[in-house]
Structure 1
Amino acid sequence: MTELLSEKIPFGRPAIVGREFDYIEQAIRNGTIAGGGPFMKRCEAWLETTLSARRALMTHSCTGALEMAAMLSNVGPGDEVIMPSFTFSATATAFVLRGATPVFVDIDPDTLNIDPALIEPAITERTRVVVPVHYAGLACAMDEIMTIAQRHSLIVVEDAAQAHLSHYKGKALGTIGDLGCLSFHETKNVISGEGGALILNNETLLNRAEIIREKGTDRSMFFRGQVDKYTWQDIGSSYCPSELVSAFLMAQFELADAICERRRKVYDLYHDLLAPLATEGLVTLPRASGAEVNGHIFWMLLESEPVRADLIRHLTAHGINAVFHYIPLHSAPAGRKYGRTSGNLAVTERVSNTLLRLPLYYTLTDDHVRRVAGAISAFFGRSLG
């Protein structure tokens, strides 16, 4: 046991991958560390080029990007927004802050994404927005979702917090709906501690998005010389990231492909090593391969909540930190207060009770992965092949 505990394997671990310290020093020497500086603009240009995005606006968080999306959607009291319940609270709170009501629908048992067949039955005369959440970096069924949205004149806001550099039929996630929201939080693949971006795929929203990001002022137009002074024009808040955050992120962007490629390899190794347990029906593994995702999360489903709790204790005793995920929003106190459900959410509840996420980060080695998989196999009385 002493040997097993000698090197603990955390669930996640942020990494310095390139020129982070150099760029932070450059930002300080540039004489500006507030938002809107050259590193922020470099990050936006990188996203626009890499994702083939019409426009990218850096934000201090994905939560900030979602809040901006809610403002741009013009939702208010009485309006409804369809989303999965199996998501982070920020997906809902962004719209609740505008007075709108989240309408929670169930997820597909294979993808853990919103079930497109359940969207249309949830639509009412008050529905204004649908929010597909690309869980674990796997794309939602965007063709179906966009068709439904167009048929009912709904705005589509992609919550792509977990999906940076994942794609759907050749298109980067976050660039398909009207608006897309990305995260660069410490827990994501490409990181800046805190950070996010709003992807604008509807060009008619661009001017207002800039105003909202700049505390409701036309400050961006002023710096471009389009107005001779800037003033308060609309609602908004302070959503720009600092130059220190953007400098760190730019260094990560430069190695983003390598980061995601390594995570995909870890994902595939987990899948290969745990496949015998899935064949026996002891666990359920994702059907997606590493090529279909960005390697953000490797999850598995257990038979029951008690089995999951026992496995977590077993892994903890072996120095391995594996964790569950969302408590469904519809069952949370705020979800009951501010939202409502459409239909039965049995899949969401089952997945929430039985899902386990395994350690996955850039510096996780193949030996670490084998150790995790070996501990899981031992829990079921099996050994790695």
Structure 2
Amino acid sequence: MLIPFNKPFFVGTETRYIEEAVRSGKLSGDGMFTRRCEEWLQAKLGAPRVLLTTSGTDALELAALLLNLEPNDEVLLPSFTFSSTATAFALRGARLVFVDSTANRPAFDADQLDSLVTPRTRAIVPVHYAGISCDMTTINAVAEKNNLLVIEDAAQALGGRFEGKPLGTQGALAAFSFHETKNVTAGGEGGMLVINEPSLVARAEVLREKGTNRAAFFRGEVAKYNWVDVGSSFLPAEINAAFLWAQLEKLDFIQQRRQELWARYYKELQSLNAFGIGLPNVPDYSAQNGHLFYLVCRSSTERTALIDFLKQRDITAIFHYQPLHNSPYYASRHDGRELPWAIYYADCLVRLPLYTELEASQQQRIISAVLEFYQVL
């Protein structure tokens, strides 16, 4: 039987909550389930305000709007990341300054930031790849010294921690994803913007509501709502919030299960180190959330061979990002710096199946197949 790379987990109460949302007569968002999710997440993270969005991409775009970027303002971000991280700021006319990964991890090299800051730099956007924290001490020190905003791309990081504190609470803003590939989902798509800087809350509410002060109107704070700023339609449907609420109720179970799977991979694949194969590196300051488990092969040829070898055994393993600095869209705009580690991970990293319902026998099949591949290489 085929082992897929990912399989969305259903806790069993999603359809009941969706039916409740339908019966409530309030489907367009900001209803009972939206409020329930936001309040729960605010308490879980200890954040001043959480706003559900239609996707993690929308959460990033909302964050970019809050920056009031002007043409040629600069944003520092990793090259080894999904296009959404970059597109959110490119849409506002920003110049993207890409930061290379490190030799030990796909996350960007925080030690490079100081040398890349210019008078035009406005923000730093660290990506917590695989739910493993970036070096937020160094990142925040650079930001504070240069009066920059930190926007965490925490799309993969719900439940991850930096020095014991939840990821998503380390910068002024943070974007999370509830896509079906994430630990919990809002029915396929969804996201949230975490606002840790209280002065940004009121405007974030306006931007999310098409540039109107509608949220304040529904709270009885204004007599009428008006168009008061730019904005867009970032608010998810109540059905998505109902689905997400069912998942959040089981978050602790989901996280524990995924972390157990991650730990088993890490323990049983340790012998690959002798072959020069990289396993995830979790710094002492970080606690990972079981989002994904990856190997770093010695070459792109080896990775392709491993993926094909697993495919022949009905196991789906896949590579990940292509570096954005030399992408078809942005290569001509890049400043020409070589970013060798971003290319290295694009060529050599492979992700193994990891999802809540992955059975012990299935995981053993995967582990045995990987070990067999390296024994016969």
Determine if the TM-score, normalized by the shorter chain, exceeds 0.5: yes
Instruction: Give yes or no for the alignment of 1:22 onto 2:26.
Output: no
* Equivalent residue in structure 1 for 2:215, among 216, 220, 223: 220
Q: Is the 8 A contact 2:99 2:113 kept in 1?
A: yes
1:381 alignment partner, SS class: helix
Instruction: Give yes or no for the alignment of 1:41 onto 2:35.
Output: yes
- 1:95-244 equivalences under 5 Å are 95-192=89-186, 193-244=188-239
CA distance in 2, matches of 1:334, 1:163: 27
CA distance in 2, matches of 1:344, 1:260: 37
**Deviations 1:347-368 (Å, cap 9, x if unpaired)?**
1111110000000000001211
- What is aligned with 2:277? 283
Q: Is the 8 A contact 2:164 2:287 kept in 1?
A: no
* Equivalent residue in structure 1 for 2:50, among 56, 64, 83: 56
- What is aligned with 1:333? 328
**Deviations 1:179-229 (Å, cap 9, x if unpaired)?**
010110000001111000000001101110000000000000110111111
Identity fraction in percent: 46
CA distance in 1, matches of 2:252, 2:235: 25
Instruction: Give yes or no for the alignment of 1:262 onto 2:257.
Output: yes
Q: Is the 8 A contact 2:57 2:84 kept in 1?
A: yes
* Equivalent residue in structure 1 for 2:87, among 93, 98, 101: 93
Q: Which amino acid aligns with 1:37?
A: G
Instruction: State how many pairs are aligned.
Output: 375
Deviation at 1:109, TM superposition (A): 2.3
Deviation at 1:381, TM superposition (A): 2.1
Give the structure-2-normalised TM-score: 0.97
Q: Which amino acid aligns with 1:206?
A: V
Instruction: Give yes or no for the alignment of 1:272 onto 2:287.
Output: no
- What is aligned with 1:249? 244
CA distance in 2, matches of 1:10, 1:289: 29
Instruction: Give yes or no for the alignment of 1:358 onto 2:352.
Output: yes
CA distance in 2, matches of 1:282, 1:149: 36
2:256 alignment partner, SS class: helix
- What is aligned with 1:3? none
CA distance in 1, matches of 2:86, 2:250: 32
Q: Which amino acid aligns with 2:252?
A: D
Q: Which amino acid aligns with 1:172?
A: P
1:238 alignment partner, SS class: coil
CA distance in 2, matches of 1:373, 1:51: 34
CA distance in 2, matches of 1:253, 1:297: 19
Instruction: Give yes or no for the alignment of 1:315 onto 2:310.
Output: yes
**Deviations 1:149-203 (Å, cap 9, x if unpaired)?**
0000001000000000111112111111000101100000011110000000011
Q: Which amino acid aligns with 1:170?
A: G
Show structure 2 runs of 5+ residues with no match.
Answer: none
Q: Is the 8 A contact 1:27 1:39 kept in 2?
A: yes
Deviation at 1:340, TM superposition (A): 2.3
CA distance in 2, matches of 1:300, 1:119: 27
Deviation at 1:120, TM superposition (A): 1.0
For residues 335 and 171 of structure 1, do their structure 2 counterparts lie closer, same or farther at Cα, with a shift above 3 Å needed? same
Q: Is the 8 A contact 1:105 1:342 kept in 2?
A: no
Q: Is the 8 A contact 1:111 1:138 kept in 2?
A: no
Deviation at 1:288, TM superposition (A): 2.4
2:375 alignment partner, SS class: coil
Deviation at 1:282, TM superposition (A): 4.2
**RMSD (CA atoms):** 1.5
Q: Which amino acid aligns with 2:271?
A: P
1:198 alignment partner, SS class: strand
Q: Which amino acid aligns with 2:316?
A: N
- What is aligned with 1:79? 73
Deviation at 1:276, TM superposition (A): 1.1
**Deviations 1:38-60 (Å, cap 9, x if unpaired)?**
10010000110111111100100
2:311 alignment partner, SS class: helix
CA distance in 2, matches of 1:341, 1:67: 24
- What is aligned with 1:346? 340
